[in-house]
Structure 1
Amino acid sequence: MIQLSQLRHAYPERTLYIDRQHGHPEYTFLHFFTSMKLTYNGRNIVTEPHSVIIFRPGTPQHFESDMPMVHDWIHFHGDLKPFLQNTNLKLDTLYYPSQTNFITELTRELETEFYNARANRDTLIQLKFQELLIKLDRTVSGESEPVFSTEITENFRRLRGEMFVSLQEKWPVERMAAKVGFSKSRFYNIYKSIYGVTPTADLIEARINSAKNMLLFTGKKIEDISYLLGYENTTHFIRQFKKWTGCSPAVYRKKQQS
């Protein structure tokens, strides 16, 4: 368990000069939005923007900026080992995450929880801090999630909702892509990045799940279910259902009812 002592998100400074020759008594998490002059591994370096480092207690710290700068910072103490054991993150190590928006957002959420005595505050702090380290580990390991604008994600959400309530309609990828204003290939890549599955596979799974519900909770014939879900013929529906579930619709209905 860790205990926060001080923290700020997107904290502005006109200039900054920190020279802790004997380090800080607590862990220090730093995310610099701008370049910083930093003593690192015995060398004076100028970092690239959006560098991140977690200093262990007692590690000498020297960083400065003679220009206006912004940073996220957290001082904390406690047992950090359980938070790091499933990551490849190392202390006193400079990182350049491919994405950093989540750092500021999670630091903001931690700050809000820390300075407001609300129910389950400590539990949320532990979870959000763990999330911060896991996402940091992903980004520095090259496993970051693509970031899309709110408009794009909302358009894709609406499209997906329209598809799922109109399963009887034909939904070729070209039609899906046109709905959100992207080329077929660009649409395909964005959809898979957001939902973790191809648009075609997502649509098939939605149809199969709908078929399962109708098989279990209605007395509809398999031919009718096939038609209601947009299949051109029952044979195609049965073949696809069996591929996804391992059994035919008739066998699935019989097994579940028994």
Structure 2
Amino acid sequence: MITVGHCGYDSKHRTHLEMRRPCGTPDYTLLLVKTNAFFSIKGERVLTLPGTVILYDKNVPVHYGSTGLLFNNDWIHFLPDETDLPFLLGLEIPFSTPLSLPYMAQLSEYARMIVMEKHTDHPYREQIINSLMHALLYSLASQLKCPEDKVMTNKYYPVMNDLRMSILNTPHKKWTVEAMAEYVHLSPSYMQHLYRELFGISCIQEVIQARLGTARFYLRTTDISVQSIAALCGYENELHFMRQFKKFTDMTPSQYRSSLPPTT
């Protein structure tokens, strides 16, 4: 079990911040820093950019702060028990080392959920926090072990990936090029160019594939009519849905459903 102590999400300090703990803390400290900052590492002042993560070991000196008038971070103090200590150490996350991550939104989302659970009171709170901490640490270690992806260093990657996740999660929405461009505050032409460059597919093709994937799921798992499935997947016209489905699968929706093995 991993126990979380003090924690905070999206904490903003609008005055110069300098945190000193000469003897550290009796627990581990994880910081997700979203603004320019400095860290004192073995007497050396290290300047860092937004998107920096640092994991402090127990009882080690801690000294960090802002280099401007704003400091924004997520922070979690946690302590694994004897069972989970090998898990933490086995991830080989280096201690007291500022680590630059091109995309930290997923880690920050885990931190947000951990903070929310910490401030609630229900029978399974500790178990949920434990699971979220495992997920956060696994995600952090995974990013560190993967070779650097140049795509993720693009300054527009976070907002473009957010758009992509929204498309994949809600393909039934009325996605147009103009709506997508407005979502990311870019011109339609540049947004389309950037989407293909980052994800290897056009934004409209992404919508079509996401809708058809959802349609195949409904055809496999329900007896809902083709007309209703078309509407659920964002098609205003059943005939357009049927034509598009056949174009990409070489079968009509009804033929696809009939080709499936019977369920038992």
Q: Does the CA contact (< 8 Å) of 2:4 and 2:79 recur in 1?
A: yes
How do 1:144-159 residues align onto structure 2 when only pairs under 5 Å count? 146-148=157-159, 152=163, 156=167
Structure 2 residue aligned with 1:166: none
Structure 2 residue aligned with 1:81: 86
Structure 1 residue aligned with 2:250: 240
- Structure 2 CA distance, aligned partners of 1:38 and 1:27? 16
Residue by residue over 1:103-159, the C-alpha shift from the partner in whole angstroms, topping out at 9 and shown as x without a partner, is: 444334322322332231112211222232233335444466953389956984798
Q: Does the CA contact (< 8 Å) of 1:7 and 1:111 recur in 2?
A: yes
Shift of 1:4: 1.5
How do 1:166-181 residues align onto structure 2 when only pairs under 5 Å count? 177=177, 180=180
How do 1:103-252 residues align onto structure 2 when only pairs under 5 Å count? 103-140=107-144, 141=146, 142=148, 146-148=157-159, 152=163, 156=167, 160-161=171-172, 177=177, 180=180, 182-183=188-189, 185-186=193-194, 198-206=206-214, 208-209=216-217, 229-231=241-243, 240-241=250-251, 252=259
The answer to whether residue 25 in structure 2 is matched with residue 24 in structure 1 is: yes
Amino acid paired to 2:61: P
Amino acid paired to 2:29: T
Structure 1 segments unaligned to the other structure (5+ residues): 164-174, 219-225, 243-247
Query: CA RMSD of the aligned region, Å?
Result: 4.8
- Structure 1 CA distance, aligned partners of 2:168 and 2:256? 30
- Structure 2 CA distance, aligned partners of 1:106 and 1:257? 38
Amino acid paired to 1:18: R
Structure 2 residue aligned with 1:97: 101
- Structure 2 CA distance, aligned partners of 1:72 and 1:28? 11
Change (3 A) 1:177 1:189: farther
Amino acid paired to 1:82: F
Structure 2 residue aligned with 1:71: 73
Q: Does the CA contact (< 8 Å) of 1:110 and 1:125 recur in 2?
A: yes
Q: Does the CA contact (< 8 Å) of 2:219 and 2:257 recur in 1?
A: no
- Structure 1 CA distance, aligned partners of 2:171 and 2:26? 51
Change (3 A) 1:231 1:92: same
Number of aligned positions between the proteins: 228
Q: Does the CA contact (< 8 Å) of 1:98 and 1:139 recur in 2?
A: no
Change (3 A) 1:240 1:88: farther
Q: Does the CA contact (< 8 Å) of 1:88 and 1:137 recur in 2?
A: yes
Residue by residue over 1:170-200, the C-alpha shift from the partner in whole angstroms, topping out at 9 and shown as x without a partner, is: xxxxx9546645445556568879x9x8444
Change (3 A) 1:4 1:118: same
Amino acid paired to 1:118: H
TM-score, normalisation: structure 1: 0.61
Structure 1 residue aligned with 2:262: 256
- Structure 1 CA distance, aligned partners of 2:158 and 2:119? 29
- Structure 1 CA distance, aligned partners of 2:100 and 2:179? 37
Structure 1 residue aligned with 2:62: 61
Shift of 1:213: 6.9
The answer to whether residue 12 in structure 2 is matched with residue 7 in structure 1 is: no
Q: Does the CA contact (< 8 Å) of 2:118 and 2:129 recur in 1?
A: yes
Identity of aligned residues (%): 14
Which 4+ stretches in 1 moved above 6 angstroms? 189-193, 236-239
